[in-house]
């Protein structure tokens, strides 16, 4: 057990509406980090919750004919139910309407007021209701729009209470500069320092009850309630015992990582640090601002189709004449499975950067990574083990270099995942694990266990299947925090006991590959059944040329045509399906100087193995990433021990050979001809 602590928080989410994909991403990311740190032996505390005060909640309640607390009670369950559905393992869920939180907020307010760090003054400002923030005139866009959400602001003149935030500007600049891990990624720290180049003003921390009654009453003036952001930020310390259980608070606080969206960077990197410094508390370890999930903005074209004109934040509303799609995380989880949804969120976005979500991209990654690579690997290993050894592999003879190489790569993936995890580059860690899965599939292609079984080479077969099974065990342990349900099934299929299934600590993963497998494997339904991709409506545009082809073929059939030697009819030509394909992987085939083994993507999750005689003209690295043209409906053939499902096109002369590629590159799967 490590002596390290790890405290991770999500923002607390507004209860004015239902959760969206942005909420789901932050919370799943926090959950996976918490699970990995538990696997590393750390003492983990994972906090999430809801922000239940402020004008947005009050307006939503009025719109729905409820009291504010009824609005909160009816909406909070949507978050709690979704987190349960998504397998979130939070240790605490805080609501800012709870007395344990309000008590600490009032105590902090009174302390700051008593020390003259809060004062009363008249204020004229420009208020954005959706963002619940005041802005100065110079901040506004076109003199009237909020600089964050671009909605029109309200002009307000009133007396309010202010926190003396301005006096901490120089301290904050110095702290950020001297602590490079404090705000991550680094470019977000630069954004905050850019904000701090302008004079920092004092922060308005109250609202008159005459304008807003839904909030925590100021302990020193009953005519006012606390500004929602000042109230909400304190949840990070009130939830872990500040002012109540000091030992618990001190144990977790300085190891804290705040996960936030980039849209609330200023409140967390300016307001919150100055508040903590004024209270007399140390800073959290890191404030990590991730990007947004974006969606394509589509507009109607005159010909009846649609055209993409850019992207926007997925949770934002569409503008007139524009179509966007907001993804309901509950719908995605129900349609494709919780674990697949969790996997996509983390594998497809680099924390800190934006990413575009589309169902097509989701299905492609599902079919490629999960169905083709991981699911097929498990199926092959289990079925071959059951068929040849009754599911119980014998102790293998000393492993050969190929086996040792694969197990070594799996061991390196454990270390790489740990490193990427600590660097908050989880997508790279996942990619490293999936590369091991692909290496394991290559290993099976090279060693051909099905051939070993036919030839009766039992010892060699046992060594190959042992190595692949051990690799799967390591991979399933590494992916367990991301896909706990599916990895439980995978490990159960490998014959692990229920106790072994949940033992996914990093130390035990490092020790795999050193012992005998004494378990009995169990065949199960496909782990990730391949999803058939329906044609999109816009694909209908291709129906007309296809119809014309059929008509031409039919016309050719009706004619009494004599086909000269060396010629083909139109009907014969159109039987050949030419499609674009992207080369994902390439490798030389041992003992074959002319052949390369390729893995190519033909679109819609159709990833194939292909053997091509181009090794004397092209090195593997020369073809990876190229978009080539292949014969897609060629009968599969066994070449040099690999199954080849198609043929690439190349132009050749006596002394040279050139691949047929698509000018400028292209999406895979397009019809050629």
Q: Are residues 266 and 126 in the same domain?
A: yes
Q: Are residues 482 and 582 in the same domain?
A: no
What mean pLDDT comes out for the span 213-239?
96
The residue out of 510, 544, 559 marking a domain boundary is 510
Q: Are residues 369 and 465 in the same domain?
A: yes
Q: Is the pLDDT of residue 594 over 90?
A: no
Angstrom CA distances, 237 to 171, 246, 265, 287, stand at 22, 10, 18, 14
Q: Which residue range(s) make up the domain with 610?
A: 576-672
Q: Are residues 275 and 367 in the same domain?
A: no
SS3 463: helix
Q: Are residues 257 and 373 in the same domain?
A: no
The residue out of 481, 510, 539 marking a domain boundary is 510
pLDDT at 394: 85
Q: State the CATH number of the domain containing residue 376.
A: 1.10.730.10
Angstrom CA distances, 145 to 55, 128, 137, 320, 561, stand at 18, 8, 10, 18, 73
Q: Are residues 115 and 40 in the same domain?
A: yes
Q: Is the pLDDT of residue 155 over 90?
A: no
Q: Are residues 195 and 121 in the same domain?
A: yes
> Is residue 549 in a domain?
no
> Is residue 409 in a domain?
yes
The residue out of 467, 485, 510 marking a domain boundary is 510
**pLDDT classification of 664: cutoffs 50, 70, 90:** very low
pLDDT at 626: 76
Q: Where are the beta strands (DSSP E) in 82-153?
A: 92-95, 118-128, 133-135
Please, which residues have CB within 8 angstroms of residue 609's CB and are 6 or more apart in sequence?
Answer: 445, 597, 598, 599, 642, 643, 644, 645
What mean pLDDT comes out for the span 201-222?
94
Angstrom CA distances, 74 to 328, 331, 333, 522, stand at 18, 20, 22, 45
pLDDT at 493: 96
Q: Are strands 355-356 and 293-300 parallel, antiparallel or unpaired?
A: parallel
Among 47-61, 95-109, 533-547, 559-573, the minimum mean pLDDT is found in 533-547
Work out whether the CA dihedral 318, 323, 327, 328 comes out positive or negative: positive
What rounded mean pLDDT belongs to the chain? 86
Q: Are residues 270 and 125 in the same domain?
A: yes
CA distance 338 to 360: 17
What mean pLDDT comes out for the span 526-531?
92
Map 596-620 to HEC letters: EEEEEECCCCCEEEEEECCCCCCCH
Angstrom CA distances, 248 to 5, 31, 100, 254, stand at 11, 21, 15, 11
Number of C-alpha atoms within 13 angstroms, CB side, residue 210? 5
To the nearest 10°, report the CA torsion of 561, 565, 571, 572. 160
Please, which residues have CB within 8 angstroms of residue 146's CB and are 6 or more apart in sequence?
Answer: 128, 130, 131, 133, 135, 140, 152, 153
Q: Is the pLDDT of residue 252 over 60?
A: yes
**pLDDT classification of 540: cutoffs 50, 70, 90:** very low
Share of the chain above pLDDT 90, in %: 56
Number of domains in the chain: 3
> Which residues pair with residue 287 across a beta bridge?
183, 258
What mean pLDDT comes out for the span 131-159?
84
Q: State the CATH number of the domain containing residue 61.
A: 3.40.50.620
Q: State the CATH number of the domain containing residue 618.
A: 2.40.50.140
Residue 75 per-residue DSSP state? H
**pLDDT classification of 605: cutoffs 50, 70, 90:** low
Map 431-442 to HEC letters: HHHHHHHHHHHH
> Is residue 623 in a domain?
yes
> Is residue 169 in a domain?
yes
> Is residue 297 in a domain?
no
pLDDT at 541: 45
- Contact, 202 vs 163, CB < 8 A? yes
Among 211-215, 312-316, 649-653, the minimum mean pLDDT is found in 312-316
Structure tokens, 100: 């344990």
Q: Are residues 479 and 398 in the same domain?
A: yes
Q: Are residues 279 and 420 in the same domain?
A: no
Q: Are residues 146 and 251 in the same domain?
A: yes
> Is residue 437 in a domain?
yes
pLDDT at 542: 43
pLDDT at 596: 87
pLDDT at 365: 93
Angstrom CA distances, 156 to 16, 164, 235, 380, stand at 23, 20, 28, 68
Q: Are residues 213 and 132 in the same domain?
A: yes
> Is residue 34 in a domain?
yes
Phi, psi values for residue 614, rounded to 5°: -125, 10
- Contact, 586 vs 597, CB < 8 A? yes
> Is residue 496 in a domain?
yes
pLDDT at 580: 87
């Amino acid at each position: 057990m490590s002596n390290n602590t790890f405290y991770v928080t999500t923002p607390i989410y507004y209860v004015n509406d239902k959760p969206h994909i942005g909420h789901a991403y932050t919370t799943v990311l926090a959950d996976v980090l918490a699970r990995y740190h538990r696997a590393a032996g750390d003492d983990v505390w994972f906090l999430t919750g809801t922000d239940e005060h402020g004008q947005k909640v009050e307006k939503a309640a009025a719109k729905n004919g409820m009291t504010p607390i009824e609005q909160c009670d009816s909406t909070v369950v949507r978050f709690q139910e979704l987190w349960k559905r998504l397998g979130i393992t939070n240790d605490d869920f805080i609501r800012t309407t709870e007395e344990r939180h309000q008590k600490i907020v009032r105590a902090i307010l009174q302390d700051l007021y008593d020390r003259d760090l809060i004062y009363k003054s008249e204020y004229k400002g420009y208020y954005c209701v959706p963002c619940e923030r005041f802005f100065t005139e110079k901040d506004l866009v076109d003199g009237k729009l909020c600089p964050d959400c671009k909605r029109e602001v309200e002009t307000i003149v009133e007396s309010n209470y202010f926190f003396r935030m301005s006096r901490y500007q120089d301290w904050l600049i110095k702290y950020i500069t001297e602590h490079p891990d404090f705000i991550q990624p680094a470019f977000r720290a630069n954004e905050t320092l850019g904000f701090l180049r302008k004079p920092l003003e004092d922060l308005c921390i109250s609202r008159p009850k005459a304008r807003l009654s839904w909030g925590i009453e100021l302990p020193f003036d009953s005519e006012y309630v606390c500004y929602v952001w000042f109230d909400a930020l304190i949840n990070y310390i009130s939830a872990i015992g500040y002012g109540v259980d000091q030992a618990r608070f001190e144990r977790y606080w300085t190891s804290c990582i705040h996960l936030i969206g980039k849209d609330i960077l200023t409140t967390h990197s300016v307001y919150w640090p100055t508040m903590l410094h004024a209270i007399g508390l140390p800073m959290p370890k890191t404030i990590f601002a991730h990007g947004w999930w974006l969606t394509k903005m589509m507009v109607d074209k005159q010909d009846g189709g649609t055209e993409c004109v850019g992207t926007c934040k997925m949770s934002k509303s569409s503008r007139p004449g524009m179509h966007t799609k907001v993804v309901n995380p509950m719908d995605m989880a129900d349609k494709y499975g919780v674990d697949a949804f969790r996997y996509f969120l983390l594998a497809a976005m680099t924390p800190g950067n934006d990413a575009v979500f589309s169902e097509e991209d989701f299905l492609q990654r599902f079919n490629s990574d999960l169905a083709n690579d991981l699911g097929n690997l498990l199926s092959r290993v289990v079925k071959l083990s059951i068929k040849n050894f009754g599911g119980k592999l014998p102790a293998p003879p000393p492993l050969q270099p190929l086996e040792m190489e694969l197990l070594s790569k799996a061991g390196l993936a454990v270390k790489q995942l740990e490193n990427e995890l600590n660097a908050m580059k989880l997508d790279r860690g996942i990619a490293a694990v999936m590369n091991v899965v692909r290496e394991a599939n290559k290993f099976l292609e090279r060693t051909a266990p099905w051939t070993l079984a036919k030839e009766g080479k039992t010892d060699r077969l046992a060594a190959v299947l042992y190595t692949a099974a051990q690799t799967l065990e390591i991979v399933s342990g590494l992916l367990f925090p991301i896909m706990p349900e599916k990895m439980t099934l995978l490990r159960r299929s490998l014959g692990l006991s229920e106790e072994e299934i949940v033992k996914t600590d990093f130390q035990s993963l490092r020790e795999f590959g050193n012992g005998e497998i004494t378990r009995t494997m169990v065949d199960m339904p496909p782990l990730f059944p391949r999803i058939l991709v329906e044609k999109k409506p816009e694909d209908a545009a291709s129906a007309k040329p296809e119809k014309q082809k059929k008509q031409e073929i039919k016309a050719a059939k009706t004619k009494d045509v004599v086909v000269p030697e060396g010629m083909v009819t139109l009907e014969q030509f159109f039987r050949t399906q030419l499609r674009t394909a992207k080369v994902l992987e390439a490798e030389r085939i041992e003992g074959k100087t002319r052949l390369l083994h390729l893995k190519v993507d033909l679109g819609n999750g159709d990833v194939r193995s292909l053997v091509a005689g181009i090794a004397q003209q092209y090195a593997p690295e020369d073809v990876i990433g190229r978009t080539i043209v292949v014969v897609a409906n060629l009968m599969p053939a066994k070449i040099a021990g690999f199954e080849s499902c198609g043929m690439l096109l190349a132009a050749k002369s006596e002394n040279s050979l050139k691949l047929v590629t698509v000018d400028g590159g292209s999406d895979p799967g397009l019809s050629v001809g």
